[in-house]
Structure 1
Amino acid sequence: MSQSTQILLSLAALGLGTGAGWLHFRTLRAVSDRLLAGDLTAVALQVGRFAVLGLFLFLCAWAGAAPLVTGAAGVLIGRRVALKRMEAAA
């Protein structure tokens, strides 16, 4: 794989990782609220959240080390964005 392709994949992984991380951590409150209310469908949602994030990271790993690292960094960036917005709303 050429270096320019690897760079483009890494940038795409960073952007998609940010979105995936934001979505993953944004939905955490909804899942936890449902669990506390006794709604057992939240367990399926939790498994789905992990499956989507795991699939994303698996695809990044399949693309190579650089996309995996930048995808994981994107997930951390998305986490930070989601938590900042939740703190601001509270």
Structure 2
Amino acid sequence: MSAAIPYLLTLLAGVAGFAAGWLHFRTLLPLTERILERDWRAVGLQVLRLALLAGFLVLCAQAGLFPLLAAAAGVFAARAMVIRKVRRELP
């Protein structure tokens, strides 16, 4: 049973990385639009986005190399998915 824990942790880190990446990149466009409209409160939200993603990746790094790599792969996969979806929605 204990031999499966590292694999399970790596799998969970990948899924959580995908969720964190999806949320991170999905909120990028609305916050950027708010900044362009001179809503400077959005700058604080941008910093919070970056801090949350960095904190998540630091937590994964403390769990080990493979959870960190799985989480980063999840973030990159979510990035690709969000970019593809946003490109379809834009004129």
TM over 0.5: yes
1:74, distance to aligned residue in structure 2 (A) = 0.4
* Partner in structure 2 of residue 30 of structure 1: 30
The ranges of structure 1 where at least 4 consecutive aligned residues each deviate by more than 6 angstroms after the TM superposition are none
Percent of aligned pairs sharing the same letter = 45
Structure 2 spans left out of the alignment, 5+ residues? none
- Count of equivalent residues: 89
**Where in structure 2 are the equivalents of 1:2-81 lying within 5 Å?**
2-81=2-81
SS state of the match for residue 61, structure 1?
helix
- TM-score of the pair, normalised by structure 2: 0.93
State the superposition RMSD in angstroms: 0.9
What per-residue deviation string (whole Å, max 9, x for no partner) do you get for residues 14-36 of structure 1?
Answer: 10101111111110001110110
Tell me the TM-score normalised to structure 1 length.
0.94
Unmatched runs of 5 consecutive residues or more in structure 1: none
